[in-house]
């Protein structure tokens, strides 16, 4: 990576870091949810973008992060940090346990199996007494939006650095080989089962911490919102919009789509969801490989890149 | 022939690969039926037979893509038939796929670099070293000028070369080549034959599955013929081609 680009990234991060000092409370709250979305998209990118396994189980990891933190804090009066660790361990164990059987499935079968899991989890947690059953749990109230913001930013930086390492490492090349052709990957010596499981566990780690932070931030959790599969859909959309299998694509995708949605909601609140859908459809038609590829494509061949995509993908 | 003997009588050397009564059944269909042969260190063995004889299945059994129903495989004297595919690759078994499996989203260079990062133990450990390695193998297989193109931009003959370069980048002891010449023209076939000879001369043992008989004649030290999953003949090319059972397998029974 060029030094100038690194300096730019550091500068952007520094700018983001001072938002709680200079920005309005509304902006900080918008920032927290956007940063957490970026973490979720980037985490999904590890299993979906690099490894090529379209997971709909990431909302399970999110929910386990939410509940791990909530139970530790509300039921055992443990500190927030311990709660996050509990949530992360729970989610990573879950990734390990479901990964071994479910990662044997591919493509749409994998997607359906993981989707089923997230529906089942909501039902399971509705019946666990210690998790507040279907009523939910209330966490201690903290007025520290600045802290939540900086934590979210720190988590995003850690997550991006991790994906950057993946993109450069032997491990990452193995994941990409699995995405491109699993038989060929195995026959050249990639331990596919181990690699896929590790990718899912890493994805679960960051996803669950984001869940834990969000749980403490909103101070209330219930099964329906903790295991919400539409959250998983948003992770997929943001990653695909930004550029799956790239280091910065999912982050840019999360930032842009969060901003677009916020602007639409302010401008015309009733039709925001509809217009948001239109934005996505148009994006998929003109830039099916995401913003990351769009940037390179426009530089290479100008505006005809957009039209060429339509031809290339036979839309 | 006593397949379990450690030294083969022909060369006095330990065989690199031994297959003993290897069998593969798909439900009712027996695709490979009690096949036993040895592959000696440093030789080129051609596996031939009509379509559907079980050649690719046998390659899949050796590489680990399919588990055998019965029988044993030994590589350098140790059982490998229960090892997963990636472990066999790390022992030094590399293969090409008849239905080519390029990593379409990656450049030709990164396709081969990935193979260099994995493959047999003890190769490149950094991506930089792997790419340098990869460039060498692309040059060797005549694909150097297309190193930076994405694999989905390559045509059939170039994809065959890419398969070969990927297999070589794994630094194999045993190379399984599944119809690398299919679809190539006469000039391209001669080029690939030369490349394969050079690979053999560098000390790699090679099993080729091939329909191009000219290539089989000029390359193979020995030929094994499969028909309906059974080994019907083996020996040097000239003897095997004159074997009545082989002629019958290819041309059908002569009716008087």
Instruction: Kindly report the backbone phi and psi dihedral angles of residue B80, in degrees, each rounded to the nearest multiple of 5, phi listed first.
Output: -125, -5
Residue spans of alpha helices (H) in chain B: 55-63, 85-91, 108-117, 127-140, 156-169, 186-201, 213-219, 237-242, 244-251
- Measure the N-to-C terminal CA separation of chain B; round to a whole number of Å: 35
Rg of chain B over CA atoms, in angstroms?
Answer: 18
In chain A, where are the structural domains located? 25-253, 268-315
Question: Which of A74-88, A235-249, B89-103, B113-127 bottoms out in mean pLDDT, i.e. has the lowest?
Answer: B113-127
Of A133 and A122, more confident: A122
SS3 for A221?
Answer: strand
In chain B, where are the structural domains located? 1-92+172-250, 104-169
A87 pLDDT more than 50 = yes
Site of tokens 């694509």: A249
A111 pLDDT more than 80 = yes
Range with the largest mean pLDDT of A99-103, A137-141, A274-278, B11-15: A99-103
B8 pLDDT more than 60 = no
Percent with pLDDT over 70 in chain B:
93
Site of tokens 């520290």: A144
Nearest CB to A180 within list B63, B65, B106 = B106
Instruction: Report ipTM (2 d.p.).
Output: 0.87
Confidence class for position B6, pLDDT limits 50, 70, 90: very low
- Within 8 A of B84 by CB-CB distance, chain A residues are 186, 191, 193
Give B170→chain A minimum CA distance, Å: 7
Residues paired with B226 in a beta bridge:
B231
Q: Is A224 left (phi over 0), alpha (psi -120 to 50) or beta?
A: alpha
CB contact under 8 Å between B65 and A186, yes or no, is: yes
Q: Which pLDDT belongs to residue B253?
A: 64
Per the prediction, chain A carries an average pLDDT of 89
Of A32 and A129, more confident: A32
Mean pLDDT of A57-82: 94
Question: Which of A17-26, A104-113, B9-18, B124-133 bottoms out in mean pLDDT, i.e. has the lowest?
Answer: B9-18
Confidence class for position A305, pLDDT limits 50, 70, 90: confident
Provide the 10 A C-beta neighbour count for residue A38.
Answer: 26
CA-based nearest residue in chain A for residue B151: A180
B5 pLDDT more than 80 = no
Mean pLDDT of B82-104: 92
Q: Which pLDDT belongs to residue A309?
A: 75
What is the DSSP pairing of strand B230-235 with strand B222-227?
antiparallel
B109 pLDDT more than 90 = yes
Q: Which pLDDT belongs to residue A314?
A: 59
Range with the largest mean pLDDT of A237-241, A269-273, B108-112, B128-132: B108-112
CB contact under 8 Å between B94 and A187, yes or no, is: yes
Confidence class for position A313, pLDDT limits 50, 70, 90: low
Burial of A155 (C-beta count, 10 Å sphere; 0-12/13-18/19+): buried
Rg of chain A over CA atoms, in angstroms?
Answer: 20
CA-based nearest residue in chain B for residue A182: B101
Interface of B with A (CB under 8 A): 63-65, 84-86, 89-90, 94-95, 97, 101-106, 110, 113-115, 117-120, 125, 127, 130, 166, 170
Nearest CB to A188 within list B104, B105, B166 = B166
Q: Which pLDDT belongs to residue A1?
A: 64
Question: Which of A85-89, B7-11, B235-239 bottoms out in mean pLDDT, i.e. has the lowest?
Answer: B7-11
Of A277 and B151, more confident: B151
Question: Which pLDDT tens digit goes with each residue over A141-198?
Answer: 888 888 999 999 999 999 999 999 999 999 999 999 999 999 999 999 999 999 999 9
Residue spans of alpha helices (H) in B73-175: 85-91, 108-117, 127-140, 156-169
Q: Which pLDDT belongs to residue B2?
A: 44
Question: Which pLDDT tens digit goes with each residue over B42-66?
Answer: 999 999 988 888 899 999 999 999 9
A contact test, residue of B66, B88, B117 with most A CBs within 10 A: B117
CB contact under 8 Å between B84 and A186, yes or no, is: yes
Give the closest residue to A175 by CA, choosing from A203, A204, A207. Answer: A203
Instruction: Kindly report the backbone phi and psi dihedral angles of residue B85, in degrees, each rounded to the nearest multiple of 5, phi listed first.
Output: -50, -45
Percent with pLDDT over 90 in chain B:
55
Give B145→chain A minimum CA distance, Å: 21
B3 pLDDT more than 60 = no
Burial of A280 (C-beta count, 10 Å sphere; 0-12/13-18/19+): middle
Q: Which pLDDT belongs to residue A261?
A: 85
B34 pLDDT more than 60 = yes
Give the closest residue to A114 by CA, choosing from A154, A164, A56. Answer: A56
Of A304 and A10, more confident: A10
Confirm or reject contact between A187 and chain B (CB < 8 A): yes
Instruction: Kindly report the backbone phi and psi dihedral angles of residue A19, in degrees, each rounded to the nearest multiple of 5, phi listed first.
Output: -55, -45
Report the interhelical angle of A25-44 vs A58-76 (nearest 10°): 130
Q: For CA atoms A217, A223, A229, A232, give the dihedral sign.
A: positive
Whether the Cβ atoms of residue B184 and residue B192 lie closer than 8 Å to each other: yes
Question: Which pLDDT tens digit goes with each residue over A261-276?
Answer: 888 888 877 777 777 7
Q: Which helix (H) or strand (E) holds A234?
A: helix A229-242
CATH architecture of B1-92+172-250: 3-Layer(aba) Sandwich (3.40)
Site of tokens 């083969």: B8
A92 pLDDT more than 80 = yes
């Amino acid at each position: 990576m060029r030094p100038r680009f690194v300096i730019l990234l550091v500068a952007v991060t520094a700018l983001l870091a001072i938002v709680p000092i200079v920005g309005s409370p509304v902006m900080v709250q918008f920032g927290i949810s956007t940063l957490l979305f970026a973490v979720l998209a980037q985490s999904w990118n590890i299993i979906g973008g690099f490894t090529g396994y379209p997971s709909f189980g990431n909302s399970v990891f999110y929910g386990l992060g939410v509940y791990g933190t909530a139970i530790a804090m509300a039921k055992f009066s443990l500190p927030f940090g311990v709660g996050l660790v509990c949530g992360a361990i729970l989610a990573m164990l879950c990734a390990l346990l479901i990964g071994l059987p479910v990662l044997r499935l591919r493509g749409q079968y994998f997607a359906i199996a993981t989707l089923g899991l997230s529906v089942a989890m909501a039902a399971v947690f509705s019946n666990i007494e210690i998790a507040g059953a279907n009523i939910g749990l209330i966490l201690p109230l903290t007025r520290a939006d600045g802290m939540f913001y900086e934590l979210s930013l720190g988590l995003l930086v850690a997550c991006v650095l991790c994906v950057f390492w993946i993109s450069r490492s032997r491990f990452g090349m193995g994941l990409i080989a699995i995405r491109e052709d699993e038989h060929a990957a195995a026959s050249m010596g990639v331990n596919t089962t181990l690699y896929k499981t590790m990718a899912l566990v890493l994805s679960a780690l960051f996803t669950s911490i984001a869940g834990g932070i969000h749980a403490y931030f909103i101070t209330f959790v219930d099964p329906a919102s903790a295991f919400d599969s539409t959250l998983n859909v948003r992770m997929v959309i943001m990653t695909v919009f930004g550029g799956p299998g790239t280091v910065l694509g999912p982050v840019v995708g999360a930032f842009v789509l969060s901003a677009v949605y916020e602007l639409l909601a302010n401008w015309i609140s009733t039709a925001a969801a509809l217009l948001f859908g239109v934005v996505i459809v148009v994006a998929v038609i003109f830039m099916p490989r995401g913003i990351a590829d769009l940037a390179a494509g426009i530089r290479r061949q100008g505006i005809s890149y957009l039209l060429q995509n339509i031809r290339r993908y036979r839309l | 022939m006593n397949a379990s003997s450690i030294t083969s009588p022909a060369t006095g050397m330990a065989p690199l690969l031994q297959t003993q009564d290897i069998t593969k059944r798909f439900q009712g269909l027996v695709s490979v039926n009690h096949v036993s042969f040895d592959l000696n260190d440093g030789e080129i063995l051609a596996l031939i037979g009509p379509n559907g004889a079980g050649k690719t299945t046998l390659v899949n059994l050796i590489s680990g893509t399919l588990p055998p129903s019965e029988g044993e495989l030994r590589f350098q004297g140790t059982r490998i038939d229960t090892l997963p595919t990636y472990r066999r690759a790390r022992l030094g078994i590399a293969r090409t796929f008849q239905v080519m499996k390029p990593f379409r989203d990656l450049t030709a260079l990164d396709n081969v670099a990935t193979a260099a990062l994995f493959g047999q133990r003890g190769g490149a450990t950094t991506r930089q070293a792997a790419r340098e390695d990869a460039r060498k193998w692309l040059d060797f297989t005549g694909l150097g000028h297309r190193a930076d193109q994405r694999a989905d931009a390559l045509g059939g003959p170039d994809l065959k070369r890419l398969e070969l370069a990927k297999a070589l980048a794994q630094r194999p002891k045993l190379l399984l080549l599944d119809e690398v010449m299919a679809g190539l023209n006469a000039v391209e076939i001669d080029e690939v034959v030369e490349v394969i000879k050079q690979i053999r001369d560098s000390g790699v043992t090679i099993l080729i599955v091939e329909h191009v008989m000219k290539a089989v004649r000029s390359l193979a030290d020995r030929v094994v013929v499969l028909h309906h999953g059974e080994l019907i003949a083996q020996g040097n090319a000239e003897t095997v081609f004159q074997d009545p059972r082989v002629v019958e397998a290819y041309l059908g029974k002569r009716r008087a």
